[in-house]
Chain A
Amino acid sequence: MAHYAMLIDASRCTGCAACRIACQMQWQLPPEVFFNRLEFREQGTYPNVRQDIVPVQCMHCDNPPCLKVCPTGATYKRADGMVLIDHGKCIGCKYCMVACPYDVRQMNERGVPEKCRFCAGHVETGGQPPCVATCMNDVRIFGDLDDPNSEISKELKRRDVFQLAAHKGTKPRVFYVKSKK
């Protein structure tokens, strides 16, 4: 059984948003529904200023708050780590949207909250998520933690990493490289 995870090196991101629209095309999403976003932040004063850009998406938490609050079991976690939504079971109560500390769920026009699916159905046969594949700066690495030879397994060993809002006990499966700056 695979165990999927992602590693994001935000220091490489230049904010082009190719990840967002490549994902939209893969999943045929309308313009307003997108599964990954960028957080921009300026630090310092001119001319000693720098810009931080952080890509944010569903963290596919091992302890997902969205799953715990779902009254119908529409949100579920697969054995391979993916947190997914069964649209048939969703009643549109939006509890999951409130519970998510990363604010990554968006209501679609049919009243179902949507979010990154870790490209379920595409990666099992060896495909890379388009947000990973299209990125000119190789910001993201996606892969299987159960495979010690996967790039992500090797990089997670080599790099100093952290998780967003780890103190909330969500145990995200999306890791971030610690910035050297």
Chain B
Amino acid sequence: MRTFSRRTFLKAAAAATIAGAMPLAGDFTGFVRGAAEAPVTRTPSTCNGCSTNCAMFVYVKNGRLWKLEGNPIAMKNEGKLCARAYGVAADVYNPDRVQQPMKRVGDKFEPISWGQAFKEIGDKLTKIIDKHTGSSVLWLCHGGKEAYAQMLLDEIGSANYVTHYSTCFTSKTNAWDKMVGTQLTSDINRAKYMVFAGRNYAGGIMPGAMKKLMRAKERGAKIVVIDPRLCELAKIADEWIPIRPGTDLALYLGLAHTLISEKLYNESFVRQYVFGFDEFWQANRHFTAEKAAAICDIPAETIRRLAREMARNAPASFLEPGYHGLHNHYVNSTQIAQANVIVNALLGNFYQHGGLMPSASPKLGKLALPKRLQPEKGARADGAGVNNEYPTVETSRGIAQHMPDLIAAGKVKALFIYHFNPLRTAPDPEYQKRIINAELVVSIPVDWNETSVHAAHYILPEHYFLERMEAPKPISGNIAHDYPQVAMRFPALKPLHNTKDVLDILKGIAKAMNIDDLYPFTVEEDAAAQLKPLGITVDKLREVGCYEVPEAIKPGFPMKDGKPALNTVTGQVEFSVGIFKLHGRQGVPTWIPPLVSPKADNEFRLIHGKQPWHSHSVTSNNPHLLAITKSYNGTWMWINKGRAEKLGIKNGDIVTLEAKIEYKGERRTVQKSIPARVTEMLHPECVWIPSGYGNFSPRARFGYQQGVNYNDFAPARVEPLSGGCMVQEVIVTVRKGGN
């Protein structure tokens, strides 16, 4: 491990690459004097530490990053920023950024010019498309800057736009899309009673959600947190209810049963706005709170009390629609999401203040571009929306975790991986490494992540987010806010290295493929066109950072000609999903047990979550955030004290986790060692590890080999209905001692 010198924050980049002098004198007094005298610029941007996009102002002094301040207008952060924001911003100077285009030569990378890289990639891509059609090209990304990549895919005739969401939360969006036709968000500002399950706004942080929750607490609203772990949000909740992991579906069905059997549900809402209520009740009328209690390890009386309290406060109450915690990691994740919709609908809280409200999203414009003659697209390579493969998976998100299968089957020949690191954030890295077997793999990252190092043929480094302008971003979703907002990233710093923004990278590739004028615009022109309908200019947004449209959204169920008008087949909330039935599955959720369950004294379910200062692998190479990890033993695996004692494990002891990966011909045993945090704050049947560790890229030196990662223990499976990766369907054995 390297040692850090003082002022590493500013100095981290190799000194040679930084022309400007340090703005710092040797001590605070000097620094303060320097601060007073040096010219300071303040540029609006949005954080890149996770996908919340907190709006902020970036302070730059003498051309170097100084500090950040949250933008008070932005509803997702209300002027606040979490630790990640500072870490990810400071990483602009991280020496482990990719500093110029690189080409793989054997096991090593050699520098290549942008021109040569574009030429080689363009030539290879043209040949691949000529031979295998555009359907053999796939764009794999985090998701969020669809438009520019989508234009290239449209031009070559590829339907393969695939996001990381199938490793994150797709069962939620899938269920909401099919049952409600939209995603509703929790109106924390007006709620009286809130139940959070598998959603930890203080760990997977959304600062604006925490601000709203704290205000809600002050005015007397109740917060209940259901989680196998006493998570950070549970710390400030009125009640923490631990649950056996993998059984939240049983709890939700028990809540629904109580609401219906005790006639606590909103009958008039159900009569007017729900389709399939009888079908749901027929299938679940015997699933009582007692039955749920035996499965989920929460007393029946508690389940009934929760249902009654939610009903008493309805419609200003909700079962929070959730996120990563439950909506990807279990075989029953799709049904969990369905049951969540149903519990909320029974409360009649849809489109109600204090319940669930639609996202207030600004209506952005579109750049007028000449129409192009483009080829017809073939079937998606990942199988999303394809008959006999994964017909019910959302095509807007796709399936990210089985790329090596698609490559081995000859479906994918060329793969672009943009702002995504599947070798670390998707299951089974040994399997994911086979991505390298495609004919062409181009990674577009900012740092030397695992995917770039172990699987890419070319690495085309993007400008850091503080160095680039991006098209406007609606600030909406997850939590309700009355007014639509839009924010934008402006370049606060000049690019430090030989990098480009993604639009210029795509322009270079298109040109090398002899595709003329595919992108006849700049980011700024695109931004201006998008902002036009709002009546504001790019310069106005540059001034305020985040703009709020002064037209509030109103409560009330969407109606047309006196009939419910949701974007579903019936216009109603559909408790039974027709397309699931069409493909031989059940339309309504009923209890489905987890795939695997721990049995022996040394067996545990392996679960994971976000630590408040890391954002999966995105922040895991930042020295300041890793120093927080060191201070608080952040890499340690949590284990329940009673269970640990039986295995002779004391706090701080090194333990070894072992799992068998047996799936589709994969047959391996994985063993990893890590210190144990022995705690009373965890359900006895699981062990918990934070998600941001276990880096294995030797070129990301700060985080290299710190801690372990949950993906090491899980095979790359696909949940059939929503495409989730089921990584918490994993049993590990735990023994005292190192590997």
Binding site for B on A (CB under 8 A): 11-18, 20-22, 24-34, 37-38, 40, 42, 44-47, 49-51, 53, 87, 108-110, 112, 117, 120-122, 130, 133-138
Contact = CB atoms under 8 A, between A and B. Distances in A.
Contacts of B90: 25
B493 to A, nearest CB: 15
Interface stretch (B207-215, B255-263, B343-351): B207-215
A117 B27 CA distance: 12
30 contacts: A13-B235, A14-B232, A15-B202, A15-B632, A16-B83, A16-B205, A18-B83, A20-B83, A20-B628, A21-B87, A21-B613, A21-B624, A21-B625, A22-B67, A22-B68, A22-B81, A27-B28, A28-B66, A30-B6, A30-B9, A38-B632, A42-B680, A46-B242, A49-B680, A110-B6, A120-B28, A121-B28, A133-B79, A134-B80, A136-B214
A134 B236 contact: no
B631 interface: yes
A17 to B, nearest CB: 5
Contacts of B10: 28
Given A16-B613, A110-B6, A31 B626 contact: yes
Contacts of B89: 25
A135 B80 contact: yes
Contacts of B81: 18, 22, 134
A31 to B, nearest CB: 4
Contacts of B29: 87, 121
B612 A21 contact: no
Given A87-B27, A87-B29, A42 B210 contact: no
A126 to B, nearest CB: 14
Given A12-B214, A46-B684, A112-B27, A130 B67 contact: yes
B663 interface: no
Contacts of A37: 631
The 5 A-B residue pairs with the shortest CB-CB distance, nearest first, are: A31-B627, A121-B32, A16-B612, A136-B207, A14-B202
Given A136-B207, A136-B211, A25 B82 contact: no
B55 to A, nearest CB: 14
A172 B459 CA distance: 55
A51 B640 CA distance: 15
A28 to B, nearest CB: 5
Chain B CB count within 10 A is highest, among A13, A32, A133, A136, for A136
Nearest to A51: B235
B707 interface: no
A69 to B, nearest CB: 21
A132 B4 CA distance: 27
A49 B242 CA distance: 11
A133 to B, nearest CB: 7
A17 B612 contact: yes
A14 B202 CA distance: 7
Interface in B1-52: 4-10, 24, 26-29, 31-32, 35-36
Nearest to A128: B69
B6 A33 contact: yes
Nearest to B627: A31
B83 A109 contact: no
B70 interface: yes
Contacts of A26: 67
B236 A24 contact: no
A114 to B, nearest CB: 8
A178 to B, nearest CB: 17
B73 interface: no
Contacts of A53: 235
Given A42-B681, A110-B27, 11 more contacts: A15-B612, A16-B202, A22-B81, A28-B7, A28-B31, A34-B631, A38-B632, A46-B683, A51-B230, A108-B6, A120-B32
Contact of A14 (B211, B236, B642): B236
Question: How extensive is the interface on chain B, given as a class?
Answer: 35 or more
Contacts of A87: 26-29
Nearest to A112: B27
Nearest to B684: A46
A146 to B, nearest CB: 23
Q: Most A CB atoms within 10 A — which of B6, B69, B242?
A: B6
Given A21-B87, A31-B623, A136-B205, A15 B9 contact: no
B269 interface: no
A108 B223 CA distance: 43
A21 B233 contact: no
B506 to A, nearest CB: 33
A27 B8 contact: no
A134 B230 CA distance: 24
Contacts of B9: 24-25, 28-31
Given A31-B4, A32-B4, A137-B210, A14 B86 contact: no
Contacts of B641: 45-46
Contacts of A117: 28
Contacts of A22: 67-68, 81, 83, 86
A161 B301 CA distance: 38
Contacts of A136: 77-78, 80, 82, 205, 207-208, 210-211, 214
Nearest to A32: B627
B214 A30 contact: no
B481 to A, nearest CB: 16
Nearest to A22: B86
Nearest to A121: B32
Contacts of A16: 82-83, 202, 205, 232, 612-613
Contacts of B251: none
Which of A25, A31, A34, A134 gathers the greatest number of chain B CB atoms within 10 Å? A31
Given A16-B613, A28-B9, A134-B81, A47 B24 contact: no
Interface in B558-614: 612-613
A46 B232 contact: no
A45 B236 CA distance: 18
B87 A14 contact: no
B683 to A, nearest CB: 8
Interface in B53-70: 66-70
Interface in B626-659: 626-628, 631-632, 640-642
Contacts of B726: none
A14 B4 contact: no
Given A46-B681, A110-B6, A21 B28 contact: no
A14 B230 contact: no
Nearest to A21: B86
B338 interface: no
Given A16-B205, A17-B628, A109-B6, A138 B214 contact: yes
